[in-house]
Homo-oligomer: A and B are copies of this chain.
């Protein structure tokens, strides 16, 4: 199987979060691809991720359910496009599982159409983390920006790093897990 090419963001249409974090990329990858880990970090507090389903292959499902402290629920269904272990993960909400096009926008479906390209590069003992959110037009990019992309994805990444440190501590001191 060939891989997709480099993904160069278009500032007019895309949003980017790039940061170097001090946890190894294998743990960042694990946090993104293991349902019980995703529950711990994916939705910025005080909202929480209360359900997660992952079928980690092209065409497979990536489904999350977020819930506010008041009980408001926000489901998200995406389809994986590329899965390169420890290196790159791509999913899109423009397709449902099995590469089925998402239904046209309607009263029942206010979902954002976005493709996420998440890249993990080793940098010293840490990871250069890059998330590109790719949109179909400027209006959709603006809408995502106003929904709080940078704060939201940044806070979620803080939560991911806290979880990864905890996983790392457990790996470093296996006896303490008992």
Contacts and interface: CB of A to CB of B under 8 A. Distances in A.
Interface of A: 1-5, 7, 13, 56-60, 81-84, 90, 92-96, 98-105, 113-115, 117, 134-137, 140
A60 B7 CA distance: 11
Given A58-B81, A94-B94, A134 B4 contact: no
Contacts of A135: 100-101
B99 A92 contact: yes
Given A59-B82, A99-B134, 10 more contacts: A1-B58, A2-B56, A3-B57, A4-B60, A7-B98, A7-B99, A58-B82, A94-B95, A101-B114, A104-B137
A136 B100 contact: yes
Given A81-B81, A104-B105, A136-B104, A59 B4 contact: yes
B140 A84 contact: no
Nearest to A9: B98
A82 B57 CA distance: 11
Contact of A99 (B56, B81, B100, B140): B81
| Most chain B CB neighbours (cut-off 10 Å) among A2, A82, A137, A140 | A2
A137 B103 contact: yes
15 contacts: A1-B82, A1-B84, A2-B57, A2-B83, A3-B58, A4-B98, A4-B99, A59-B81, A92-B101, A94-B102, A99-B115, A101-B134, A101-B135, A103-B137, A104-B113
